[in-house]
Amino acid sequence: MSYTAQPNQSEKNQANTWQNIQKQLLEIYGQDVYRSWIQNIIFLKTTFNTLVLSVKTRFIRDWIVAHYVDKILNLYKKFDIKISRIEFQISEKTEIKPIKNNIIDFDKKTYSLSGNYGLSKIDEKLNFDNFVVGKSNELAFTAAKKVIENLNKYNPLYIYGGVGLGKTHLLNAVGNKLLSTIDKVIYVSAERFMYQFVRSIKNNDVVKFKDIFRSAKVLLIDDIQFVSGKDVTQEEFFHTFNALIESNSQIILSSDRAPNDLDRIQDRIKSRLSGGLVVDIQSPDYEQRVQIIKQRCLKDLHSFDKNNFIEEEVIDFLAAESKLTVREMLGSFNRLVAHASINQKKITTIEARHVLKDYLNKIQTNLTIEDIQKTVVSYYDISMHDFMSSRRSRMVARPRQIAMYLSKKLTTKSLPEIGRKFSGRDHTTVIHAIKKIEELISKDKIFENEIRDLNSKLIYQNNNGVKV
């Protein structure tokens, strides 16, 4: 056997692949998770079926294994099908890239309490002026306003809701408002809180860590679902929490789920979290989504750009793409504007679909044909057996066609693959089904609504299914 010492192309490719995956993880989990856990993972190599990564501490490894390793593996598999496991090496030497942290700069060893460290971390762009209020978030909005007017009225205020529905925005809006009158406002994500706490243990800085948080007059903690794991960190979180409530400091928390559904958090902490007021944010309806786009995006565009580049119908199209979260919807809009101005070309709905094609598909890849079949079967209240059979009566044939249509629309499977999943039907049957359904959608408003309804059901399930 001969070994070659030259770094080969595939090693370079692998490094690129890893960068690409890090980028995707950034998109999926956001800046904060990325900075705390993902950014400093070092790609070492792949050997046979194993992806070998390096991180700095056991704690970081355990955390990644508990929260992100499945996702990492799935993403990597898309590039290299052979990979079926991930191995972590612990290396103190792992170079830590400077973490540009606009929250609290813990990396500076000076935990100066005199500086207004609360100020820099709250995002000024997320305020009440550009927060669109509608049925979906009225309750949370009103509660937040009440808290501002009257600290301690609801303590803690616990706001929960799905991904991209404006929780971080609302927390920052509260922070911005209060900063004008109070200087000890701290905004921190639970991820950061945990990470910094563990770091402070390592650096023998726990006392300072506690001092900082316990000095807060208002503490805004984002994504509380991430508080979990080692008892000692939960313990510290709990003590900080109690200390603040006892000293009449206001706490506002956000989470992707209700207090009772926090699965890794101790019961007594849960009950403390629900001790004030708990409100939820729902998905905005179509009108509210249109308003959010107009409020968040159009304002920033020059009127020249507006008229020349984006057809009004494109806004409707994005708002109606209910599988896009608000965040994705806004991101898509910005993508379209960029595309239009680079190509100096007006964007119509057809163009928009085309430009966003990969993006729209990517979001849907977690949905399987089986998921779609199950949902359609239960929607039309027919039996799976009949559905899969060769019966041609309208009652089962139509739902079957709908499921085929949705499989094409919502998964990346090819026509033959779809056919196979429907008891080995031919791909021409699938094509026929898609045509038929498209025709019905264009002719029949009620039918169109039915399909849209199914579509959102599936996307909703899917989104919930992939939640961290």
Q: Residue 465 Cβ, how far from ligand ADP at the closest point, in Å?
A: 17
- Decide whether 289 or 408 has the Cβ nearer to ligand ADP: 289
187 with 118: CB under 8 angstroms? yes
Pairing state of beta strands 42-47 and 50-55? antiparallel
Q: Give the E-state strand segments of 21-180 in sequence order.
A: 42-47, 50-55, 85-90, 157-161
The interface partner of residue 315, options being ligand ADP, Mg ion, none and the CB cut-off 5 to 8 Å by kind, is none
- Decide whether 288 or 373 has the Cβ nearer to ligand ADP: 288
- Decide whether 191 or 236 has the Cβ nearer to Mg ion: 191
Q: Where does this chain bind ligand ADP (CB under 6 A)?
A: 126, 130-132, 137, 163-169, 292, 295-296, 326-327, 330
- Decide whether 236 or 256 has the Cβ nearer to Mg ion: 256
Q: Residue 128 Cβ, how far from ligand ADP at the closest point, in Å?
A: 10
Concatenated DSSP letters for 164-209? TSSHHHHHHHHHHHHHTT-S-EEEEEHHHHHHHHHHHHHTT-HHHH
The interface partner of residue 53, options being Mg ion, ligand ADP, none and the CB cut-off 5 to 8 Å by kind, is none
Amino acid code (one letter) for 214: R
Residue 11 in 3-state DSSP?
helix
Q: Give the E-state strand segments of 2-84 in sequence order.
A: 42-47, 50-55
Q: Residue 29 Cβ, how far from ligand ADP at the closest point, in Å?
A: 11
- Decide whether 236 or 280 has the Cβ nearer to ligand ADP: 280
The interface partner of residue 411, options being Mg ion, ligand ADP, none and the CB cut-off 5 to 8 Å by kind, is none
189 with 103: CB under 8 angstroms? yes
Give me 67's structure tokens.
């929260």
The whole-angstrom separation of Cα 186 and Cα 122 is: 8
- Decide whether 168 or 332 has the Cβ nearer to Mg ion: 168
The interface partner of residue 289, options being ligand ADP, Mg ion, none and the CB cut-off 5 to 8 Å by kind, is none
The interface partner of residue 457, options being ligand ADP, Mg ion, none and the CB cut-off 5 to 8 Å by kind, is none
Concatenated DSSP letters for 280-320? EEPPP-HHHHHHHHHHHTGGGS-HHHHHHHB-HHHHHHHHH
433 with 400: CB under 8 angstroms? yes
Q: Residue 333 Cβ, how far from ligand ADP at the closest point, in Å?
A: 11
- Decide whether 296 or 409 has the Cβ nearer to ligand ADP: 296
User: Which residue is nearest to ligand ADP, using beta carbons?
Assistant: 166
Q: Where does this chain bind Mg ion (CB under 5 A)?
A: 168
- What sign for the dihedral angle of Cα 227, 164, 375, 388? negative
The whole-angstrom separation of Cα 310 and Cα 345 is: 9
Q: Residue 165 Cβ, how far from ligand ADP at the closest point, in Å?
A: 4
Q: Residue 37 Cβ, how far from ligand ADP at the closest point, in Å?
A: 17
The interface partner of residue 296, options being ligand ADP, Mg ion, none and the CB cut-off 5 to 8 Å by kind, is ligand ADP
Q: Residue 222 Cβ, how far from Mg ion at the closest point, in Å?
A: 6
Residue 346 in 3-state DSSP?
coil
Q: Residue 197 Cβ, how far from ligand ADP at the closest point, in Å?
A: 22
- Decide whether 169 or 177 has the Cβ nearer to ligand ADP: 169
155 with 276: CB under 8 angstroms? yes
The whole-angstrom separation of Cα 120 and Cα 105 is: 9
The whole-angstrom separation of Cα 371 and Cα 326 is: 24
* Distances in whole angstroms, Cα of residue 283 to Cα of each of 161, 225, 259, 377: 8, 19, 19, 25
- Decide whether 238 or 333 has the Cβ nearer to ligand ADP: 333
- Decide whether 41 or 221 has the Cβ nearer to ligand ADP: 221
The interface partner of residue 169, options being Mg ion, ligand ADP, none and the CB cut-off 5 to 8 Å by kind, is ligand ADP
The interface partner of residue 409, options being Mg ion, ligand ADP, none and the CB cut-off 5 to 8 Å by kind, is none
The interface partner of residue 165, options being ligand ADP, Mg ion, none and the CB cut-off 5 to 8 Å by kind, is ligand ADP
Q: Residue 72 Cβ, how far from ligand ADP at the closest point, in Å?
A: 21
- Decide whether 163 or 363 has the Cβ nearer to ligand ADP: 163
Q: What angle do CA 55, 56, 62 make, to 5 degrees?
A: 65
From the number of C-beta atoms within 10 Å of its C-beta (0-12, 13-18, 19+), residue 102 rates as exposed
Q: Residue 391 Cβ, how far from ligand ADP at the closest point, in Å?
A: 44
The interface partner of residue 406, options being ligand ADP, Mg ion, none and the CB cut-off 5 to 8 Å by kind, is none
User: Which residue is nearest to Mg ion, using beta carbons?
Assistant: 168
The interface partner of residue 332, options being ligand ADP, Mg ion, none and the CB cut-off 5 to 8 Å by kind, is none
The whole-angstrom separation of Cα 446 and Cα 444 is: 6
Q: Residue 325 Cβ, how far from ligand ADP at the closest point, in Å?
A: 7
